[in-house]
């Protein structure tokens, strides 16, 4: 249990860890590339540890040093024969991104079967649309429990390519997974997405990482049709920007305390859609500026100065669901209603984040309403709120979001504080920097 100490105000410059989303995309591209790659400032966390262990089981050589990883690419030649048994097990915990990405990578393997599994929560997180699209490319893949969730068994025989349909775009990770392996199909790969593509910035991120490793994609304006020619990624040195989702908690800390925070390694502009949170905080009354480049850095990042008079807003957060809990906590200290729309996909994250956020806000005395795909926080400037023990549901983002509330409300205690290791293992050390420690 972690007790959060309230602070009067904040004035600090710090770095966020490397972006989890970019790290996992770059890992896949480097693993499939021709030649060696070096990833600078990668995220070291529980999730990326799972990804590295899985890729090593697929025969990828990855050498991890402080602040950089060296990956020897296999040129798309993933082999199940690298694994100790014919139906080899890869365990990915509750790493949804890796489960979706590596399911497609496993389809490239030849000479055996790969079984991808996770913890109990991962076995409840659906992956059916991805399975349907891979089958459309001729991939032999089975959901072993018949529920469109892991465990999955992929009998590697490569990817035919041609045209396939992704039945829904509610998780951008399905689409990113297909795009990342598309260059290694036997013929030009085409993907058509049915329905609206949510979290479009994550798809744009995937396309950008692919381009950095030498593969171009064709796509239409609304990200529902894609085509990728057969080809290969090329090994390279690639620097990963700071994680905007991780930075969000520090920007939020400045917002609620009327303080100042500069996160120096999240660039403006950023590849990450979650960096758009700063624009939403500006709508609530904060001041946001892009800082001048720091000595020895490629960026100075964003500087956010908070306000004593935050105002509620109405916002569609389909494109940045991971920072919806952060904004919801800030909204508890605003005046008026904050409506966060189009976030039904929060229910298939590490926990049902839509329900969990509303439940824990109510413990603090916040008036909040839950709907199927939105939440409404009735802000009263933070008046009359009380301390409480916050359950995290084994979800790293719940722990970090509600730490923000404890900066203004005495007696906020975060249960299972160690769950932050999933994406931000040294979060509590960096959080102490807010108090000058």
Catalytic residues: 322
A 10 A CB-CB count for 341 gives 16
| 334 Cβ neighbours under 8 A, 6+ residues apart | 284, 285, 310, 311, 312, 313, 377, 379, 381
DSSP assignment letter at 4: P
Q: Whose CA is closest to 19, among 47, 38, 50?
A: 47
Q: What would the two tokens of residue 180 be?
A: 């990342």
Helices (H) and strands (E) in the chain, counts: 12, 23
Q: Is 6 helix (H, G, I), strand (E, B) or coil?
A: coil
| Cα–Cα distance, 92 to 31 (Å, whole number) | 17
Note the residue count of the chain: 437
What is the b/e burial string over 257-283, where b = at least 16 CB atoms within 10 angstroms of the residue's CB?
bbbbbbbbbbbeebbbbbbbbbebbee
Q: Are 367 and 320 in contact (CB under 8 A)?
A: no
Rounded to a whole number of angstroms, the CA Rg of the chain reads 21
SS3 content of the chain, % helix, strand, coil (to 5): 35, 25, 40
DSSP, residue by residue, 34-84: BSEEEEES---SHHHHHHHHHHHHTT-EEEEETTEEEEE--TT--BGGGSS
Could you tell me which residues come within 8 angstroms of residue 16 by beta carbon, excluding any fewer than 6 positions away? 242, 243, 244, 246, 247, 250, 263, 265, 266
- Give how far Cα 350 sits from Cα of 130, 262, 395, 403, 423, Å: 18, 29, 6, 18, 12
- The rounded distance, in Å, linking the Cα atoms of 423 and 411 is 25
Contact criterion met (CB below 8 Å) for 388 and 411: yes
């Amino acid at each position: 249990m972690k007790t959060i100490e309230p602070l009067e105000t904040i004035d600090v410059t710090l770095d966020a860890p490397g972006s989890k989303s970019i790290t996992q995309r770059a890992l896949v591209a480097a693993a499939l590339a021709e030649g060696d790659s070096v990833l600078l400032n990668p995220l070291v966390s529980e999730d990326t540890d799972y990804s590295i262990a899985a890729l090593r089981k697929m025969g990828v050589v990855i050498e991890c040093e402080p602040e950089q990883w060296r990956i020897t690419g296999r040129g798309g030649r993933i082999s199940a024969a690298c694994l100790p048994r014919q139906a080899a097990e890869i365990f990915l915990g509750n790493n949804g991104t890796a489960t979706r990405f590596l399911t497609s990578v496993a389809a490239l393997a030849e000479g055996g079967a790969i079984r991808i599994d996770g913890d109990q929560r991962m076995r409840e997180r659906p992956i059916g649309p991805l399975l349907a699209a891979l089958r459309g490319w001729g991939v032999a893949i089975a959901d072993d429990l018949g529920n469109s969730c892991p465990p999955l068994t992929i009998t590697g025989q490569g990817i035919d390519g041609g045209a396939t349909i992704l039945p829904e775009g509610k998780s951008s990770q399905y689409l990113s997974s297909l795009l990342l392996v598309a260059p290694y199909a036997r013929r030009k790969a085409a993907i058509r997405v049915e329905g609206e593509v949510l979290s479009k910035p994550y798809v744009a991120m995937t396309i950008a990482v692919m381009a950095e490793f030498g593969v171009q994609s064709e796509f239409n304006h609304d990200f529902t049709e894609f085509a990728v020619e057969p080809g290969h990624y090329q090994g390279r040195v690639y620097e990963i920007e700071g994680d905007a989702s991780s930075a969000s908690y520090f920007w939020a800390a400045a917002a609620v305390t009327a303080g100042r925070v500069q996160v120096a390694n999240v660039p403006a502009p950023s590849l990450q859609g979650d960096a758009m949170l700063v624009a939403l905080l500006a709508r609530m009354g904060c001041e946001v500026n892009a800082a001048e480049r720091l000595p020895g850095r490629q960026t100075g990042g964003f500087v956010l100065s908070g306000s004593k008079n935050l105002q509620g807003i109405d916002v569609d957060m389909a494109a940045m669901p991971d920072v919806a809990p952060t904004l919801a906590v800030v909204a508890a200290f605003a005046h008026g209603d904050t409506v966060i729309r189009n976030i039904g996909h929060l229910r298939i994250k590490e926990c049902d984040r839509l329900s969990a956020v509303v439940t824990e806000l109510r413990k603090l005395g916040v008036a909040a309403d839950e709907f199927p795909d939105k939440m409404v926080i009735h802000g009263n400037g933070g008046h009359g709120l009380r301390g409480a023990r916050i359950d995290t549901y084994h979800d790293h983002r719940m722990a970090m979001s509600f730490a923000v509330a404890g900066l203004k409300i005495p007696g906020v205690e975060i249960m299972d504080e160690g769950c932050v290791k999933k994406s931000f293992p040294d979060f509590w050390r960096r959080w102490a920097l807010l108090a000058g420690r």
